[in-house]
Amino acid sequence: MSNTAAMAGSAVGSSAEHLTLMLLCQLVVILAFSRIVSWVSTRFLGQTAVAGEILAGLLLGPSLIGALFPDLSHALFVPETRPIFVGLAQLGLILLMLQIGMEFQVTPGRGRDGRAVALISLTGIITPFALGYATAPFFWRELGMDPDQGLLAFRLFFAIAMSITAIPILGRIFMELGLSHTRTASLVIGSAAIDDICGWMLLGLVAAIVAANFDMVMFLARIAAVALFVAVMLALVRPFLSRWVAGRMAKEGGTLDTTTIAGLLLVLLGAAIITSKLGIFAIIGGFIVGHCLQNDRAFVAQWKMRVGGLVQVLLLPLFFAYTGLRTDVGSLSASGWGLCALVCLVAFAGKFGGAYLACRALGESHRQAATVGVAMNTRALMELIVLNIGYDMGVLPKPMFSMLVVMAIVSTFMATPLIRWLMASERVSPELTRARLAGLSAE
């Protein structure tokens, strides 16, 4: 009996060590490949680092590396490590959504600029949503799907995918190009922030509808539960957290200690569990907790310094690789690429067109309106989060998932060179830009 137990324990230990070894190999490959592609993208393609990381995730999957070296890819990304890999990627997303929630400070201002932000954000989400909802049946039919099953859920998610703007990468683009001081940057960031808040609300609403299987009673019950949770977080948890964090930081001389980080992680994970149980995904819980903590900018700076680096350098590339491993653009036929081009056309027409027309209606110049349209059309990370949710819920067929990932990457890579060209006359000196970026990195 003792020999049997010893053999079983040895087998378990060996299995655990093998899983650890495979996971470590995956992490080394993902991080090294992400750094290389990111460096190439920033050095030679004029892109931001995160744009390169998104591209690295796509290239690491079956779209390139998996196609060129299938045996190596299968040997590295073994099925046994998939649950661990997915878990780490999702944990990274929850932590990232916490940071995004901390950054969403919508201050559109007053007067002409305030009205401009309101109109741009309104048209920037209504126009692409309506266009996506209207064209979704065509794409559903072209994919050969049953028109009597799943179409409504697909239409809703496709419309949301058309409506997303990537505010985190936009802020970075304007900083890196020395344009953060401009009125255009202010208009874009304010409009994108409102758009994405509306987008996350719509995403939670649609996720609740789909999770309730279009049962109106169940849907209303879920929405009531979510509304109650948000109300409790904002009315009760937010003031308590604010006082507790401020007190802890004052006690520690303005720094964030490990006890405070541990306490906040418990709150974060608890909120993620609740929103997951409510059917609107764990990442929404992260966003809500981040929103509760956004007013204490000293805390936000400390959190980004103590925790944010790990999320950006380790966990975020894992999410991009996770998305890339699910995307196979090589499987698209000639007609599939034609359909992908149409998806891009609908996405760009709705987002760029809505923002551009709003700016022109406000009396902005053609160049200014085009700049805002290009910026609002940038999808990047935020789009990938939405697409993975739709894919996990079984709403987005795999070919459409791949097409939308391509659309997100193309829109992201278009943004930096076009904004640089359209706003060339407003850029500040490279020296000042580097100083501002250094200050941003220190925050």
Segment-wise mean pLDDT, segments of 10 residues, the chain, 443 residues: 52 74 94 94 86 92 93 92 89 87 61 76 92 96 88 93 83 77 83 79 80 76 87 94 94 92 96 87 86 89 90 90 92 93 96 93 91 92 88 92 95 92 74 51 42
Domain identity same for 93 and 66 = no
Residue 253 exposure: Cα atoms within 13 Å on the Cβ side:
0
Domain identity same for 45 and 99 = no
**C-beta contacts of 348-352 below 8 A and 24+ residues apart:** 348/377, 348/411, 349/131, 350/127, 350/128, 350/129, 350/130, 350/131, 350/132, 350/162, 350/163, 351/124, 351/127, 351/128, 351/162, 351/163, 351/165, 351/376, 351/377, 351/411, 352/376, 352/377
- Per-residue pLDDT at 443: 41
Domain identity same for 38 and 93 = no
* Interatomic CA distance for residues 125 and 23, integer angstroms: 40
Domain identity same for 47 and 151 = no
* Interatomic CA distance for residues 122 and 337, integer angstroms: 31
Secondary structure (DSSP) of 93-158: HHHHHHHHHHH------SHHHHHHHHHHHHHHHHHHHHHHHHHHHHHHHHTT--TTSSHHHHHHHH
Domain identity same for 192 and 223 = yes
Domain identity same for 184 and 38 = no
Domain identity same for 360 and 265 = yes
CATH number at residue 122: 1.20.1530.20
Domain identity same for 93 and 71 = no
Q: Which of 65, 82, 99 marks a domain boundary?
A: 82
Q: Which of 82, 109, 129 marks a domain boundary?
A: 82
Question: Is 162 among the domain residues?
Answer: yes
Which of 410, 405, 414, 412 lies closest to 332, judged by CA?
A: 405
Domain identity same for 169 and 53 = no
The residues, any chain, with a CB within 8 Å of residue 66's CB and separated by 6 or more, are: 60, 73, 325, 328
Question: Is 127 among the domain residues?
Answer: yes
Question: Is 9 among the domain residues?
Answer: no
* Interatomic CA distance for residues 29 and 88, integer angstroms: 16
Question: Is 7 among the domain residues?
Answer: no
Question: Is 125 among the domain residues?
Answer: yes
- Per-residue pLDDT at 440: 45
Q: What is the residue range of 144's domain?
A: 89-442
The DSSP output letter for 429 is P
Instruction: Please tell me the total count of domains within the chain.
Output: 2
Question: Is 221 among the domain residues?
Answer: yes
Domain identity same for 125 and 45 = no
* Interatomic CA distance for residues 155 and 159, integer angstroms: 6
The DSSP output letter for 257 is -
Domain identity same for 59 and 107 = no
* Interatomic CA distance for residues 107 and 105, integer angstroms: 6
Question: Is 2 among the domain residues?
Answer: no
Domain identity same for 71 and 168 = no
Q: Which of 82, 115, 136 marks a domain boundary?
A: 82
- Per-residue pLDDT at 428: 60
The encoded tokens of residue 177 equal 């190009």
Question: Is 436 among the domain residues?
Answer: yes
